[in-house]
Chains A and B, each alone.
Chain A
């Protein structure tokens, strides 16, 4: 199956800082999604982005399908952004191991 690697595994920021999370995948995909798992375990879909760029408030994502990677940008981070960010790819939704983000006040 498709291999999915996320980096960095852990990220600690001060409130207000910007960050970039990366997702590399091993094969062509027609489905890529980014999720946020909050500290209480709830999973929220952030983006469905198999290619191109999307923005939603302080978050944006870019997928370069030909080069098999996707980036999630978080600007002006807030403490409520803390949690684990996952990308998932492919028809059978292969998840990466996630990036654990901690935003300090």
Chain B
């Protein structure tokens, strides 16, 4: 039982490159979300999903796309990376009956 996994752990991109951050869970949770954490700040919600095929925007969605084709996976796509997207990205899951959120270990992204 791995819980919530994220890959890669670290990534360096050049401005304008695209990439996908992966998030997978084996907890059978309905809800999944992506956050970014900038230095000295709390987390900010980027996108979330309440089930396969359903996604919605959070507080800071610009520059990011998501899709949810299965319960287990919730990838985050950066279409054209910008230095302002340098951050640590966390994926989280929770059950619609449980409320408690479980976080992955994070991906540290640097955009040059």
Tell whether A48 pairs with B103 under 8 Å between CB atoms, given A41-B88, A88-B43, A94-B59.
no
Chain A residues with CB under 8 Å of B43's CB are 43, 86, 88, 93, 95
Taking residues whose C-beta sits less than 8 angstroms from the other chain, chain A's interface range is 20 to 34
Is B63 interfacial (CB 8 A cutoff)?
no
Other-chain contact of B106, A31, A41, A95 (Cβ < 8 Å)? A41
Q: How far is the CA of A88 from the CA of B88 in the complex (A)?
A: 18
A75 to B84 alpha-carbon distance, docked (Å): 39
**A residues within 8 A CB of B106?**
41-42
Which A residue's beta carbon lies closest to that of B103?
A43
Residues from chain B with Cβ under 8 Å of A41 in the complex: 88, 105-106
- Return the CB mask of A32-46 against B: 1 if under 8 Å, else 0: 010100000111110
Q: Name the one of B88, B100, B105 contacting A45, with C-beta atoms under 8 angstroms.
A: B100
| Extra pairs beyond A1-B59, A48-B100 (19, CB < 8 Å) | A4-B42, A33-B100, A33-B101, A35-B103, A41-B88, A42-B103, A43-B43, A45-B101, A48-B99, A86-B42, A92-B45, A92-B48, A93-B33, A93-B45, A94-B45, A95-B41, A97-B40, A97-B42, A98-B41
Q: Which 7 A/B pairs are nearest by Cβ-Cβ distance?
A: A95-B42, A43-B103, A48-B99, A95-B43, A45-B100, A48-B100, A86-B42
Interface residues of A (CB under 8 A from B): 1, 4, 31, 33, 35, 41-45, 48, 86, 88, 92-98
Between A and B, 29 residue pairs with Cβ closer than 8 Å are A4-B42, A31-B99, A33-B100, A33-B101, A35-B101, A35-B103, A41-B88, A42-B103, A42-B106, A43-B92, A45-B100, A45-B102, A48-B100, A86-B42, A86-B43, A88-B42, A88-B43, A92-B45, A92-B59, A93-B33, A93-B101, A94-B45, A94-B59, A95-B41, A95-B43, A95-B44, A96-B42, A97-B40, A97-B42
